[in-house]
């Protein structure tokens, strides 16, 4: 079982981005892993903007990322890039915050014109934090995500099928990382990723 941190960077409490993340989290949990949610909009604004990692809530969010084996990063796309909330959080993380972790980037947005934002805006920033792997990500159009009464979310199959596939690839990466870590522990090996 791996610990998978899920980062929600939507400022909205009724968010299609969070709906997609909920689906991904369920698939990760069904695979036998524990998810650790980090909801950036719930962090206090002033300490977050000041990069005050001594504030208990901000410190707890950073510690969650540090303790995770893998991370799912979800973001809405604004102005052809990831959210400012996510940028603010990523900026306060240590330079090697994702070292040894498998990362899955996922974005949502209103226009298919922003489909490349995952690879050309988000992936380079995540790569700068030294993950062991960034698996293929996915962009979901907002019109493929339906928010239902009671908090349920329905994804069009045009979104659900590729999301299942990128999640499967991510979970394969997590499983591979877990097998290597278990073998290293059994042999007393400590790797520097």
For residues 34-42, give the mean pLDDT.
98
Pick the CATH number of 3-187 from 3.40.50.300, 3.40.190.10, 3.40.50.150, 3.40.50.360: 3.40.50.360
Q: Which residues pair with 134 in a beta bridge?
A: 103
Mean pLDDT across the chain? 90
Region of residue 147 (phi > 0: left; psi between -120 and 50: alpha; otherwise: beta) = beta
Contact 72, 4 (CB under 8 A): yes
Instruction: Examine the pLDDT at 2 and tell me if it is beyond 80.
Output: yes
Per residue in 88-145, pLDDT (tens digit) is 999 999 999 999 999 999 999 988 878 888 999 999 999 999 999 999 999 999 999 9
3-state SS, 67-115, equals HCCEEEEEEECECCECCHHHHHHHHHCCCCCCECCEEEEEEEECCHHHC
Of 24-28, 50-54, 142-146, 148-152, the range with the lowest mean pLDDT is 148-152
Measured distance CA(127)–CA(90) in Å, rounded = 11
pLDDT in tens, 130-150: 999 999 999 999 999 998 887
> What pLDDT band is residue 47 in, cutting at 50, 70 and 90?
very high
Query: Helix, strand or coil for residue 144?
Result: helix
For the chain, domain boundaries? 3-187
What pLDDT, on a 0 to 100 scale, did the predictor assign at position 177? 67
């Amino acid at each position: 079982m791996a610990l998978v941190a899920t980062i929600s960077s939507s400022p909205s409490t009724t968010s299609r981005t969070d709906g997609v993340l909920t689906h991904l989290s369920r698939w990760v949990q069904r695979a036998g892993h524990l998810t650790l949610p980090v909801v950036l909009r719930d962090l206090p604004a002033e300490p977050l903007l000041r990069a005050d990692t001594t504030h208990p809530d901000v410190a707890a969010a950073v510690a969650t990322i540090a303790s995770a084996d893998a991370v799912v990063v979800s973001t809405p796309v604004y102005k052809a890039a990831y959210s400012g909330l996510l940028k603010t959080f990523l900026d306060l993380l240590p330079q090697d915050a994702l070292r040894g972790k498998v990362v899955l980037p996922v974005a949502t947005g209103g226009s298919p014109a922003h489909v490349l934002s995952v690879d050309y805006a988000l992936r380079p920033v995540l790569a700068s934090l030294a993950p062991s792997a960034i698996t293929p990500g996915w962009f979901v159009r907002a019109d493929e995500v339906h928010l239902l009464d009671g908090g349920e979310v329905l994804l069009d199959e045009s979104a659900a099928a590729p999301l299942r596939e990128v999640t499967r690839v991510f979970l394969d990466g997590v499983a591979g990382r877990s097998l290597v870590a278990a073998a290293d522990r059994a042999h007393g090996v400590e790797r520097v990723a």
